Amino acid sequence: MSARGRNRRCRYLAAACAVLAAWLLALDFPGQAQADRSAAPLVLELKFDAEGLADAARRHAALVLITMDTPGGLSDAMTDMIHHILDSPVPVAVYISPDGARGASAGFLILLSADIAAMAPGTRTGAATPIVMPSWVTMPMDEVLRKKINNDATAFLRSFTEKRGRNVKLAETAITEARAFTEREALDGRLIDLVVADKDDLLRQLNGREITRFNGRKETLSLENYTRADFEWSARQRFLARIADPDVFFLLLLVGALGLYTEFTHPGVVAPGVVGGICMLLALYAMQILPINAAGVLLILLGLALFVLEAKFASHGVLLLGGIVSMLLGAMFLVRSPLTPAGVSFGVAIAAVLPFAFLTVFLMRLVLKSRRWKTVTGKEEMLGEEGVVTEALGGGEGMIRVHGELWRASAKEAVPVGRRVRVLRVDGLKLEVEPVPRATSTDE
Q: Which residues are CB-neighbours of 299 under 8 A, at least 6 positions away? A: 326, 327, 329, 330, 333
**Predicted local confidence at residue 23, as pLDDT:** 45
Paired sense of beta strands 386-391 and 227-230, if any: unpaired
**Predicted local confidence at residue 333, as pLDDT:** 86
> pLDDT-derived band of residue 173, with 50, 70 and 90 as boundaries?
very high
Contact at 8 Å (CB) between 326 and 299? yes
Confidence check: pLDDT of 113 > 60 = yes
Q: Which residues are CB-neighbours of 92 under 8 A, at least 6 positions away? A: 53, 63, 64, 66, 85, 114, 115, 116
Confidence check: pLDDT of 228 > 90 = no
Is the entire prediction scored with pTM above 0.75? no
pLDDT above 70 as % of the chain: 81
Measured distance CA(32)–CA(423) in Å, rounded: 78
Q: Which residues are catalytic?
A: 105, 148
CA dihedral 427, 428, 430, 436 (to 10 degrees): 50
**Predicted local confidence at residue 313, as pLDDT:** 81
Q: In DSSP terms, which residues pair with 42 in a beta bridge?
A: 227
pLDDT above 90 as % of the chain: 32
The arithmetic mean of pLDDT across residues 72-98, rounded, is 89
**Predicted local confidence at residue 342, as pLDDT:** 61
Contact at 8 Å (CB) between 249 and 286? yes
Angle between helices 106-113 and 75-87 (to 10 degrees): 10
Q: Which residues are CB-neighbours of 98 under 8 A, at least 6 positions away? A: 69, 120
Contact at 8 Å (CB) between 217 and 32? no
CB burial string 54-92: b at 16+ within 10 A, e below: bbbeebebbbbbbbbbbebbebeebeebbebbbebebbb
If phi > 0 it is left, if psi is from -120 to 50 it is alpha, else beta; for residue 138 that is beta
Distance from first CA to last CA of the chain, Å, rounded? Answer: 56
Angle between helices 50-58 and 75-87 (to 10 degrees): 20
**Predicted local confidence at residue 6, as pLDDT:** 43
Confidence check: pLDDT of 337 > 90 = no
**Predicted local confidence at residue 30, as pLDDT:** 42
Tens digits of residue pLDDT in 37-78: 445 788 888 876 667 788 888 888 999 999 999 888 778 888
Contact at 8 Å (CB) between 160 and 214? yes
**Predicted local confidence at residue 102, as pLDDT:** 92
The arithmetic mean of pLDDT across residues 154-178, rounded, is 93
Measured distance CA(294)–CA(310) in Å, rounded: 24
Confidence check: pLDDT of 444 > 60 = no
Measured distance CA(133)–CA(106) in Å, rounded: 13
Indicate the DSSP class of residue 210: E
User: Which has the closest alpha carbon to 89: 47, 37, 54, 118?
Assistant: 54
| Summary mean pLDDT of the chain | 81
Indicate the DSSP class of residue 339: T
Contact at 8 Å (CB) between 105 and 83? no
Confidence check: pLDDT of 366 > 60 = yes
Indicate the DSSP class of residue 393: B
> pLDDT-derived band of residue 374, with 50, 70 and 90 as boundaries?
low
The arithmetic mean of pLDDT across residues 218-224, rounded, is 92
Instruction: Output 274-282 pairs: Cβ under 8 A, ≥24 positions apart.
Output: 279/252, 279/253, 279/255, 280/252, 280/253, 280/256, 281/256, 282/243, 282/252, 282/256
**Predicted local confidence at residue 33, as pLDDT:** 39
Measured distance CA(191)–CA(166) in Å, rounded: 5
User: Which has the closest alpha carbon to 214: 156, 162, 152, 155?
Assistant: 162
More confident residue, 404 or 334: 334
**Predicted local confidence at residue 318, as pLDDT:** 87
Specify the DSSP element, H or E, that contains 256.
helix 246-265
The arithmetic mean of pLDDT across residues 375-401, rounded, is 76
Contact at 8 Å (CB) between 306 and 323? yes
